[in-house]
């Protein structure tokens, strides 16, 4: 049998953390100053004193770069905190999504990304990859709950987290992020105990 | 006390069913032939031999007309059937949404509407009105289940139906409508019985 060599990535494809941070900072500045319409790889390259080929080597499309900027922007207020209970974890997750999107820039970037993904295949692919990674990460909350015995062992973690994210998307995309506490608790009740009447 | 007269609508605002159908048929034909980029009130008016003011009197925006075309197109394969059980009703609802959106035109129209709603306030408002009406109608399935005693009396019908529609949106907008039977059943299990471990 012939042993396969591990695939060798070119040196150029390896991201240099300092340059990466500089490009992401430049991209965020370009976005905040000129909005989405002014957000081009050319403008980011100029601002970061980087070459366009360098940016394209690390981010295959404008959408991929925009998603990284979005995630970095959101991330400071966004975590999958272990609160000790599944209800606490999921409430924290939903609230952190809603809070992040209520901030004009973060919400607007994500809305634009979803909109562009409906027409542009590169954005669609970048968004799909991003969402798959988020579902995997958020799924850890469900797996923690299963390890604690709080969550049914047969609950599929990524379907649960998609149900939460989908509900938040639905609110973002129809301008209804202003949920009150009662609505959030009602949603969590449904998610935790379902709709079936226990008396039936 | 002064009795309020009922608000009188001008005759012009009352839709004439025949003209309405002719305009909707013309709109669908324009859409199917020229796609969204060719979909203008002018093109629809020409095709329907109607005046632009007549169309604008009945549909305040291009988005409102497009939503009516979409709904008419979808409606032939889309109902809130009473199957006799809440699980049957909800499965039928989810499958009818997914099936309708898998058809290229219906899915593409709705994706475009959601995309346009992120940038255009008139489309956003038309979509919000449309979705509120759909939630109210779909909520009848939950109210039927509550009347049968199958569904918890405290389950908020419109939050439940939004959870289902939001999940379908999430799949449509990220190109993942090709759900298999197991995924659909897993989603329905979660919706009906929740994620909490009954042994805990």
**What pLDDT was estimated at residue A16?**
84
Task: Please tell me which of the candidates B174, B183, B195 has its beta carbon nearest to residue A155.
Answer: B195
- Residue B143 gets which letter from DSSP? H
Choose, out of A119, A132, A195, A196, the residue to mutate when testing the contact with B (most B CBs < 10 Å): A195
Report angle CA B89, B90, B94 to the nearest 5 degrees: 120
Strand, helix or coil at A199? coil
Contacts of B192 in chain A (CB under 8 A): 194-196
Question: pLDDT (tens digit, 9 = 90+) per residue, A108-140?
Answer: 889 989 998 988 888 899 999 999 999 999 999
CB proximity list for B1: less than 8 A, separation 6 or greater: none
Q: How far is B61 from chain A (nearest CA, A)?
A: 17
**What pLDDT was estimated at residue A171?**
95
Confidence category of residue A14, pLDDT binned at 50, 70, 90? low
Is the dihedral angle over the CA atoms B96, B102, B106, B110 positive or is it negative?
Answer: positive
Q: Give the largest Cα separation in chain A, rounded.
A: 67
Q: Which two tokens stand for residue B28?
A: 């669908």
Quick check: B190 pLDDT over 90?
yes
- CA A175 from chain center: how many Å? 19
More confident residue, B148 or B37: B148
Contacts of range B59-62, beta carbons closer than 8 Å, 24 or more positions apart = B60/B122, B60/B126, B61/B122, B61/B123, B61/B126, B62/B122, B62/B123
Confidence category of residue A61, pLDDT binned at 50, 70, 90? confident
Given an 8 Å threshold on Cβ–Cβ distance, is B169 in contact with A167? no
CA distance B74 to B70: 6
Q: How far is B125 from chain A (nearest CA, A)?
A: 8
Question: Is residue A22 within 8 Å of A50, Cβ to Cβ?
Answer: yes
Which range, of A88-102, B70-84, B158-172, B177-191, averages the lowest pLDDT?
A: B70-84
Given an 8 Å threshold on Cβ–Cβ distance, is A174 in contact with B124? yes
B153 touches chain A (CB under 8 A): yes
Strand, helix or coil at B196? strand
Confidence category of residue B78, pLDDT binned at 50, 70, 90? low
A95 touches chain B (CB under 8 A): no
B1 touches chain A (CB under 8 A): no
- CA A141 from chain center: how many Å? 15
- Residue A5 gets which letter from DSSP? P
**What pLDDT was estimated at residue B13?**
55
DSSP secondary structure string for all residues of B37-86 = GG--HHHHHHHHT--HHHHHHH-SSHHHHHHHHHHHHHHTT------SSH
Q: How far is A37 from chain B (nearest CA, A)?
A: 12
Q: Is the ipTM value over 0.85, yes or no?
A: no
Question: pLDDT (tens digit, 9 = 90+) per residue, A150-183?
Answer: 999 999 999 999 999 999 999 999 999 998 889 9
Question: pLDDT (tens digit, 9 = 90+) per residue, A26-59?
Answer: 998 998 888 777 889 999 999 999 999 999 999 9
Which range, of A11-15, B64-68, B85-89, averages the lowest pLDDT?
A: A11-15
Strand, helix or coil at A51? coil
Quick check: A195 pLDDT over 60?
yes
Quick check: B3 pLDDT over 80?
no
More confident residue, B13 or B50: B50
Q: How far is A83 from chain B (nearest CA, A)?
A: 16
Q: How far is B157 from chain A (nearest CA, A)?
A: 10
**What pLDDT was estimated at residue B84?**
93
More confident residue, A80 or B162: B162
Quick check: B41 pLDDT over 60?
yes
Task: Please tell me which of the candidates B127, B128, B163 has its beta carbon nearest to residue A190.
Answer: B163
CA distance A65 to A73: 12
**What pLDDT was estimated at residue A33?**
85
**What pLDDT was estimated at residue A7?**
42
Interface of B with A in 38-77 (CB under 8 A): none
Helical H segments across chain B, by residue range: 17-34, 41-48, 52-58, 62-75, 86-102, 104-117, 121-148, 157-173, 181-193
Quick check: B74 pLDDT over 80?
no
Compute the mean pLDDT over every residue in chain B, rounded to the nearest whole number.
Answer: 87
Question: Is residue A142 within 8 Å of A160, Cβ to Cβ?
Answer: yes
Question: Is residue A115 within 8 Å of B113, Cβ to Cβ?
Answer: no
**What pLDDT was estimated at residue B105?**
79
**What pLDDT was estimated at residue A189?**
95
**What pLDDT was estimated at residue A146?**
97
Nearest Cα residue in chain B from A172: B118
Nearest to A130, CA basis, from A151, A108, A110, A153: A110
pTM for this prediction: 0.83
**What pLDDT was estimated at residue A75?**
64
Given an 8 Å threshold on Cβ–Cβ distance, is A118 in contact with B117? no
């Amino acid at each position: 049998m012939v042993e396969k060599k591990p695939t060798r990535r070119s040196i150029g494809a390896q991201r240099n953390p300092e340059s990466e941070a500089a490009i992401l900072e430049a991209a965020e500045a370009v976005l905040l100053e000129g909005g989405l319409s002014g957000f081009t790889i050319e403008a980011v390259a100029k601002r970061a004193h980087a070459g366009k080929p360098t940016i394209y080597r690390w981010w295959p499309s404008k959408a991929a770069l925009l998603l990284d900027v979005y995630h970095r922007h959101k991330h400071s207020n966004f975590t999958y905190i272990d609160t000790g209970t599944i209800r606490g974890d999921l409430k924290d997750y939903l609230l952190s999504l809603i809070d992040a999107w209520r901030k004009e820039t973060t919400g607007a970037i994500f809305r634009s990304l979803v909109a562009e993904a409906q027409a542009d295949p590169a954005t669609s692919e970048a968004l799909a990859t991003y969402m798959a990674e988020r579902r995997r990460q958020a799924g850890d909350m469900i797996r923690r709950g299963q390890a604690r015995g709080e969550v049914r062992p047969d609950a599929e973690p990524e379907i649960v987290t998609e149900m939460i994210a989908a509900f938040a998307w639905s609110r973002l995309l129809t301008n209804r992020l202003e949920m009150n506490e009662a609505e959030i608790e009602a949603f969590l009740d449904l998610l935790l105990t379902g709709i079936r009447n226990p008396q039936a």
